[in-house]
Amino acid sequence: MKKPSVSELTDLLNKPALLNWANKIGLNGISLFDYRNKAKAAGTSIHNQIENYIKNKTPFEDANVQDNFEKYFANKKIISYEKEIETDYFKGRYDILIEYNSKKYLCDFKSNHKVAYFENKLQLVAYKMAEPCDNVGIISVPDFTFIPTYIDDFGMYEEILKNLSLIYQTKKIIENGNKSL
């Protein structure tokens, strides 16, 4: 049976904050579809620029963003980036694993983030299930600031992810007319 991606698992969750956000976008006369496509393209662009800079030292499109990147990573070691992962429950790809003060941090790049949402925490815990590390966090781009991600009990998040995987698999079986995949 096909393993779901981490994104497919978190998409199973109700996200009430998104309703308010979508309503606000619509009330401003902006097409949600166009807004999401533009945001997705910008996110892909910054991810590609980061990867190209790490791999080839290809300059960023914006010199200020490159400066922010260089300042943030000046005292950190990049262990891996854009790495494919897989567990018994899902597959995915995390953004970056860094070492700072002798600790490994598995981080996800998010555009203009101020806090870590529940879904962000699930995503990071999923990656941690496949890639051992000391802690997880979000790096807000384009300013490259670290958003602490406090998780008291990783095990509880892991159980949610395992159960979401079971829900995903069961849903696919139902959608395929009760034929196992």
Question: 32: which 2 tokens?
Answer: 């949600």
Q: What is the pTM for the complete model shown?
A: 0.83
108 beta partners: 138
**Residue 179's pLDDT band (boundaries 50, 70, 90)?**
low
* Structure confidence by residue, pLDDT tens digits, 47-69: 999 999 999 999 999 999 999 99
* Structure confidence by residue, pLDDT tens digits, 122-134: 999 999 999 999 9
- The distance from CA 173 to its chain's CA centroid, rounded to whole angstroms, is 27
Helix, strand, coil proportions of the chain in percent (round to 5)? 50, 25, 30
* Structure confidence by residue, pLDDT tens digits, 91-148: 999 999 999 999 999 999 999 888 898 889 999 999 999 999 999 999 999 999 999 8
> Is the link from the previous residue into 142 a cis peptide, with omega within 30 of 0?
yes
CA distance 26 to 24: 5
